[in-house]
Amino acid sequence: MQFIIDRLSKSYGKKEVLKDVSFTFDEGKIYGLLGRNGAGKTTLFNCLNGDIPRDSGEVCFSDGGVRRPSRPEDIGYVLSTPTVPEFLTGREFLKFFLDINAASLDKPQPLDTYFDYVGIEPADRDRLMKDYSHGMKNKMQMLASIIIHPPVLLLDEPLTSLDVVASEEMKRMLREVKAGRTVIFSTHILDLALDLCDEIVLLSHGELEEIDRENLGDDAFKAKIISALREEGGAGNG
Determine contact, residues 237/12, Cβ cutoff 8 Å: yes
> Mind giving me the DSSP string for 104-162?
G-SSPPPHHHHHHHHT--GGGTTSBGGGS-HHHHHHHHHHHHHHH--SEEEEESTTTT-
Domains of the chain in start order, with CATH, are: 2-232 (3.40.50.300)
pLDDT at 29: 94
What does the pLDDT look like over 87-144, one tens digit per residue? 999 999 999 999 999 888 888 899 999 999 888 999 999 999 999 988 889 889 888 8
Determine contact, residues 202/211, Cβ cutoff 8 Å: yes
Q: Between 51 and 227, whose confidence is greater? A: 51
Tell me: pLDDT of 69 over 90: yes
Highest mean pLDDT among 126-130, 217-221, 223-227: 126-130
Determine contact, residues 213/199, Cβ cutoff 8 Å: yes
- Rounded to 10°, the helix 134-148/90-100 angle is 20
Using DSSP's 3-state secondary structure scheme, residue 206 falls into coil
pTM: 0.85
pLDDT at 73: 87
